[in-house]
Chains A and B, each alone.
Chain A
C-alpha cells in the first residue's frame, strides 16, 4: 500500500518536472531566442542583465501565454474528467453539453448584432476588442450552462441530460451557422480566428483574474474527489453510500461548465485536451481514484497544452499556428497509441 503511494507521488513529481521543463522551453524559444541565463536573471529580478525588448517579450508575451496554456490545459483536462465520470462515458468532454458551442453562439451573435446595428464590420469598430469577444463568449456559455442546470433537476437519468446537451450543441451550432451567413465578411473572419483558439488572448492585465478564477475551480474539483469516486460506482451504489446524487450532479455540471466557460471565453473553443488528457492520466497512473486522477489530469493537461503551444510556434519558431489544430494533431495519434497499448495489455491478461 505504502509502495503504491510512493509511486504515485514520484510520478506526480515527474509530471511536475516535465511541466517546468516545458515552461522553460516555452520561454526560451520563439521568434526571438532568449537565452536561459537571461530568463533566469529576469525572474530573479536582475532586469539590468536583459535587454528591454527581450524583457517585454518575456513579460508581456511569452510568460502570460505560458501561464494561460498551463491554466487552460489543467482546467480543460479536469472539466473533461468531470464529464467522463459524471456520464460514465469515455467519450464525454467539456464540449459535450454544448457549453463551448454556446460560447461560439455568443461570439457570433455579438459580431452579428454589432455589425448590423452599425452597418459596418464589428471588428472595424475600435471598441470591439478581444475583451468584447471574451464577454460575448462567456455570456453564451453561461446561457447554456444555466439552461442545463435548470433542467437537470427534472431529469432522472444522466443519459437524458447527455442527449439534451448534445442537442443543445447542434442547436447552437446551427444558429451560429445562420448568424455567420448574414454577417459581414470581416466579422466572419474574426469568428473563424476566434474559433481556432489561442493561448495569447489573455492580456497581462486580465491574467490574474483568469488564473485566479480557474485555480478556484480546480481547488473545488479536488474537494469533489470522494464524490466522484462514488459516482463512478453508479448512482445506486453512490446513493446507498450516502451521496446526494441530485446535488452532486448539479455541482459537477456547474464546475465543469464554469471552467469551460471561462477558458473558452479567453482562449476560444480548444478541442481535444479535455477528451484526451483524462485517458492519458488514467493510463499513466493505472487508477480510477479521483484523488490521484485530478492532480494527474491537471499536470498532464498543463504539460500537453505547453507542448502544443510550443509546436504552434514551430515553422522557423516564428509561426502562430491555430492551437485548436495542434491539440488534435498531437492528441489524436497519442490517444490512439494509448488505446492500442491498453488493448494489447488486456489481450495478454486474458
Chain B
C-alpha cells in the first residue's frame, strides 16, 4: 500500500519569537496510506486546528517534516502543494452573488492560466466533481441560498475539482443535522474506498467516526498523538484516557455501522464482555457478518490477545488492527 501522508517528528505549536516557541505536544510521527479515511479527534484545545494549519502550510511547523506522496512540503512551492492537498473548511465564504459553479471551478485555478480559462478537461472534471458530491442540481444556485449541508458538499466538490490525492477537512460535520451527517460520512467513505482519495478530517462526533473510519488519530493537550483503529483505542482504554471521561458506544437511532458495504464472508465470535463487543464492532465496521455459531473462521480473546483459528492454524494478535488486517488478507 502506498504511503500518502507521513509526519516525521513533526512539532506543532506557536512561536511568538524564535526563542519562545511553545510546542503543543511531543513530536508527531504518524502516517496514512492512500485511500485511508482517518479521523482526527481529541478534546478541545488538543491542537487539531493547529495541526491542520501546519499540514495545509498556513503556519510553519516548529520542527520535523511533512511528506505528502513522498514529497517534502518544505521544499515545494505553493503551486506544487496545491496539486497534492486540498482543504475543506467550515468558514462561510463569498458574497451574495457567488455561485456554486464558480466555487467548484476555483478548484481548477492551480491548473489554469492568468485568465482562468477552463478547457474541456477542466469542465469535465468540474462536472464529475459536482456529480460525485451529488450537487449537479445546485450548480447555478448562489452559495448563500444553500443549507449548511449543501454548502459543505460544494466545498467538497471544490476539493474534488482540485484533483488532489489528499483532502483535509476541518470539522466537516460540525453544523450538520443527523441526515446530513450520514450523507456526509457516506460520501467520504465512497470517496476513500472507491475513488482512492486519502481523507483526513477532524471531528468531535465519536459515534460517527468510531463506526466508520479506518483509523483514528487521537490527540490531547501535551500528550503524544496516537494512531489506531477505533476499537483498539477503545478496548485499550486510550480513548477514555485522552478524553478524560469513559466512553460507551451509544446505541443511537441512526445505525452508522450499517453504512459499510457488506462482504460475503462470515466470522464466528462467541464470548461476552466489553472486549468482545469491540471485536464484533470492528468486524461489522469492515462489513463482515458476525455469527454466534458458525463462520469461515473463529475468533476469541484470551490473555489480552486476539486468537484467530480455522481448520488448520491458530494465530495470535496484540491489537484489533493487526487482527483485522490479517482477516482482510485471509479472505
Contact = CB atoms under 8 A, between A and B. Distances in A.
Interface in A168-216: none
B23 to A, nearest CB: 20
Contacts of A237: 87, 89, 93, 106, 158
Interface in B93-144: 93-99, 102-103, 106-107, 109-110, 112, 114-116, 144
B1 interface: no
A241 B114 contact: no
B95 A226 contact: no
A120 interface: no
Contacts of A289: 102
A289 B94 CA distance: 11
B179 to A, nearest CB: 21
Is chain B's interface secondary structure helix, strand, loop, or mixed overall? loop
Contacts of A282: 95, 97
Contacts of B8: none
A239 B98 CA distance: 19
Interface stretch (B74-82, B184-192, B207-215): B74-82
Interface stretch (A59-67, A227-235, A264-272, A301-309): A227-235
A235 to B, nearest CB: 8
B252 interface: no
Contacts of B58: 236, 239
A170 to B, nearest CB: 28
A68 B109 CA distance: 36
A243 B145 CA distance: 28
A236 B91 CA distance: 10
A226 B109 contact: yes
Contact of A223 (B77, B99, B112, B114): B114
Given A225-B115, A240-B86, A230 B109 contact: yes
Contacts of A243: 78
Contacts of B94: 232-233, 288
Interface residues of B, number: 34
A346 B96 contact: yes
A291 interface: yes
B168 to A, nearest CB: 9
Nearest to A223: B114
A244 interface: yes
B57 interface: yes
A225 B82 contact: no
A36 interface: no
Contacts of B266: none
A242 B112 CA distance: 11
B33 interface: no
Contacts of A244: 78
Contacts of A350: 145
A229 B116 contact: yes
B110 A239 contact: no
Nearest to B82: A242
A291 B58 CA distance: 27
Given A225-B115, A230-B109, A289-B102, A240 B87 contact: yes
A342 interface: yes
A349 to B, nearest CB: 6
Contact of A233 (B77, B78, B103, B114): B103
Interface in A324-350: 342, 346, 349-350
B156 interface: no
A199 B93 CA distance: 38
B98 A226 contact: no
A240 B106 contact: no
Given A225-B115, A241-B109, A232 B93 contact: yes
Contacts of A346: 96, 144
Nearest to B111: A242
A291 B93 contact: no
Q: Most chain-A Cβ atoms within 10 A of its Cβ — which of B86, B94, B106?
A: B106
Contact of A240 (B85, B112, B116): B85
B56 interface: yes
Contacts of A225: 115-116
Contacts of B107: 241
A46 to B, nearest CB: 42
A41 interface: no
Nearest to B53: A236
Contacts of A160: none
11 contacts: A226-B112, A229-B109, A233-B94, A234-B93, A236-B58, A237-B93, A240-B85, A241-B82, A242-B82, A287-B99, A289-B102
7 A-B pairs closest in CB distance: A242-B82, A242-B79, A288-B98, A288-B97, A226-B116, A242-B110, A242-B78
Interface of B: 56-58, 77-79, 81-82, 85-87, 89, 91, 93-99, 102-103, 106-107, 109-110, 112, 114-116, 144-145, 158, 162
Given A233-B94, A241-B82, A244-B78, 13 more contacts: A225-B115, A232-B94, A232-B95, A236-B58, A237-B106, A240-B82, A240-B85, A240-B87, A241-B106, A241-B110, A242-B78, A282-B97, A349-B145
